[in-house]
Amino acid sequence: MRDLTRDNWKEAIKNDPNAVILDVRTPGEWREGVQPNAVLLDFFDGGGFMAGIQSMDKSKNYYVYCRSGGRSSSACGLLESQGFANTFNLLGGMMSWDGEVVAPSM
């Protein structure tokens, strides 16, 4: 796992054709707005979270965020324990985010 500041995050995603953006917040938090192209995978839905990562492509680069950075850091650790080599955590989560926020598509 690599921690990224919001500026490094924006730059990394812009230049990464294998980027997958994971929002690990709850559905309620998700409805408040998301980063463009983010996929919801609720970290607090233990069984659902684990089932979700089992179907993900391990060759992709996963950019993971939550509200403040704690859950996303834990999620990156879980992803790594399941064989995902490239995980990136947004430091400060959405609380520090100053980039584009869009309405989620469920």
Q: What whole-number percentage of the chain has pLDDT above 70?
A: 99
The single-letter code of the amino acid at 49 is: F
- Per-residue pLDDT of 80-95, as tens digits, reads 999 999 999 999 999 9
Taking Cα atoms as reference points, which of 77, 80, 106, 74 lies closest to residue 93?
74
Taking Cα atoms as reference points, which of 75, 2, 89 lies closest to residue 41?
75
Residue 76 annotated in active site: no
The single-letter code of the amino acid at 70 is: G
Q: Which of 66, 76, 79, 94 is catalytic?
A: 66
pLDDT of residue 105: 80
Map out the domains of the chain as residue ranges. 2-96
Fold of 2-96: Oxidized Rhodanese; domain 1 (3.40.250)
| pTM to 2 decimal places | 0.96
